[in-house]
Amino acid sequence: MAVEPNLAQAIAKRCAQAKENEQNFRALVPGSDNCSLASGLAERLMAQYPDSQYRPPLYGKLLGVKDVFLSGNIPTRAGSLLPRNVFSGQAAIPVAQLINAGAILMAKTTCSEFNYISKPPTLNPLVRERSPGGSSTGSAAAVAAGICDLALGSQSRAGIMMPAAFCGILGFKPSSGRISRQGLISFSPTLEQPGILAREFDILHNAAKILLNKDQAEIDADTKPALGIPSQVFLAQADSEVLDHFEYLLGSLNAAGYRIRQLDAGNNYLKINQCHRDLYAAEFTQQLIPLIGKYGHLFSLATRELYETGLKVLPEKLYRARELQPQFREELQDEMNARAVTLLLSPSTATLPPLVSAEPISTALSLPFSFCGLPTLSVPIGNHPSGLPFGLQISAAWGWDEYLLQQAEQIWSALNR
C-alpha cells in the first residue's frame, strides 16, 4: 500500500518554491505571506483528518486572498499606501468559509489601488512583458504561477474576468449577493462582488459549493444548453483577432451539437456603460469621503481624479442608475427566455494581453454583466500564434450559478477534444 505524502512537508516545499516564484512575478503583497504558519496549519489538518475519506473538500489547498478582504492577522490595505490599521476586523466570511473547508491561507495578493485602475508591480506568469490584467491582478498571477491553488478576487467591472483570461486560468463572478460580502472592503457596494480564481474545475466547483448561498434559481440540471450570442454591435468592441478566434470557437461548438442563436442583447451597451460610470464613481467617492481628509495625500492621481468625478454625479443620476440596474437585467433575461437561451457566450476581453506599459485596458465585454449582477465565468480556450491566451466568457441568468459552472465545464471539454 502506498504511503500517503506528508501534507506538512508538501506545504513547506511549496512555500519554498512560492518564495522563488514570487521574486519573478510579484503577485503577493510584500510581507503578507503566511508561510511561517502554513506547515503548522497543515499539521493541524493532518491530526484533525487522519482518514482521507472524511477530509473537507479543500483539504491542504493553498489560498490567496485579494488585498480587499479582511484576513485576520494579515493587514488589509486595498492595494493602497494607507497605514495597516485603517481597515481592520475579523476575517471576511468568504475567507473563513474556505479555511474552514480545509484551505490554508498562503498570502494576500496584489490589486489595483481601491480596485480602480492603478497597476500593481505584478507580472504575467505566462508572458512577463504582458499585462496580467486587473483589478484582481495578484490573485490571477498567483494561481497561474502555481503559488496558490485558488484565490479570492472581486469584480465591479472586469476585475476577475480580465486577469483570469490574461493569465490563462478560470475566473468566476457569481450572481450579485450569492457570496457574502461581509469583510470585503468595497469601493462600490452595489457593483462589487467576490469571486473565485482557480486552475482546475474541481477546485472551482468545491469552492463555489462552499461560498454560494442557497438563493439559486430552480433549474432542471439536465436542461440542454442553448447558447446565445450578444449583438454584433456589442461584439464589435473587440479586436479582430479576438473576434476571429471567437468565431472559430462558435464553429467548433456548432459542430459539437450545440444550438447557437444570435440575440439583440448588448445593443444598449452605451447606456449601460454610462449608468455604470455614474454609479461606480458616485459610490467610490462616498466610500472615500471618510479617508480623503486624512489620507488623500497617499492616493494615486487616478484615484483622486475619480473621487472628483464622483462628486459631480448628481443624486438623480445615481438614483436612476440604481433604478435601471434591475431593469436591464430583466430585459436581458426576458430575451434569453423568449429565445430559449440558457447561456450567453462572448470573448472574455476585447483584446489579447497588452504590453505592461499600455494604457488602461478596455473592460467593455464584461461590464454589462457586472452591472446587471449576472453570474459569469472566464474559461481559458486556446492561444494566439504568439502564445498569448484567449478567454471565453460564459454568462447565465441571475441565480443560475451552479448550472453555469456545470455547463461551462462541458463546453470547455467539448472545445478541447
pLDDT tens-place string over residues 111-164: 999 999 888 999 999 999 999 999 999 999 999 999 999 999 999 999 999 999
Distance, CA of 102 to CA of 121 (rounded, Å) = 30
Q: Mean pLDDT for the chain?
A: 94
Local confidence band at 221 (pLDDT 50, 70, 90 cut-offs) = low
Burial of residue 345, with CB atoms counted within 10 A of its CB: 0-12 exposed, 13-18 middle, 19 or more buried: buried
What is the average per-residue pLDDT within 53-59?
A: 96
Which residues, including other chains, have CB under 8 Å from residue 114's CB and lie 6 or more apart?
A: 78, 79, 80, 187, 284, 287, 288, 303
Q: Are 149 and 199 in contact (CB under 8 A)?
A: yes
Write out pLDDT tens, residues 165-199.
Answer: 999 999 999 999 999 999 999 999 999 999 999 99
Whether residue 52 is predicted with pLDDT greater than 70 in this model: the reply is yes
Residue 49 amino acid letter: Y
Whether residue 296 is predicted with pLDDT greater than 90 in this model: the reply is yes
Distance, CA of 134 to CA of 154 (rounded, Å) = 10
C-alpha cell read off for 180: 457574502
| DSSP secondary structure of 46-63 | HHH--SGGG--TTTT-EE
Local confidence band at 222 (pLDDT 50, 70, 90 cut-offs) = low
Local confidence band at 73 (pLDDT 50, 70, 90 cut-offs) = confident
What is the average per-residue pLDDT within 78-88?
A: 95
| DSSP secondary structure of 88-116 | --SPPHHHHHHHHTT-EEEEEE---GGGS
Distance, CA of 77 to CA of 185 (rounded, Å) = 9
Say what the pLDDT of residue 4 is. Answer: 65
Domain with CATH 3.90.1300.10 in the chain: 7-211
Say what the pLDDT of residue 224 is. Answer: 73
Burial of residue 25, with CB atoms counted within 10 A of its CB: 0-12 exposed, 13-18 middle, 19 or more buried: buried
What is the average per-residue pLDDT within 61-87?
A: 95
Lowest mean pLDDT among 29-33, 109-113, 183-187, 387-391: 29-33
Residue 152 in 3-state DSSP?
Answer: strand
CATH ID of 7-211, from 2.40.10.480, 3.40.1390.30, 3.90.550.10, 3.90.1300.10: 3.90.1300.10
Domain with CATH 3.40.190 in the chain: 226-266+325-380+392-415
C-alpha cell read off for 286: 462616498
Say what the pLDDT of residue 2 is. Answer: 45
Say what the pLDDT of residue 225 is. Answer: 87
Residue 296 in 3-state DSSP?
Answer: helix
What is the average per-residue pLDDT within 365-385?
A: 97
Distance, CA of 69 to CA of 41 (rounded, Å) = 20
What is the average per-residue pLDDT within 350-375?
A: 93
Range 226-266+325-380+392-415 has CATH code 3.40.190: yes
| Residue in this structure with the C-alpha cell 434591475, named with its chain if needed | 326
Write out pLDDT tens, residues 238-265.
Answer: 999 999 999 999 999 999 999 999 999 9
Question: Residue 125's closest CA among 359, 318, 387?
Answer: 387
% pLDDT > 90, the chain: 88
Peptide bond preceding 346 in cis form (omega within 30 of 0) = no
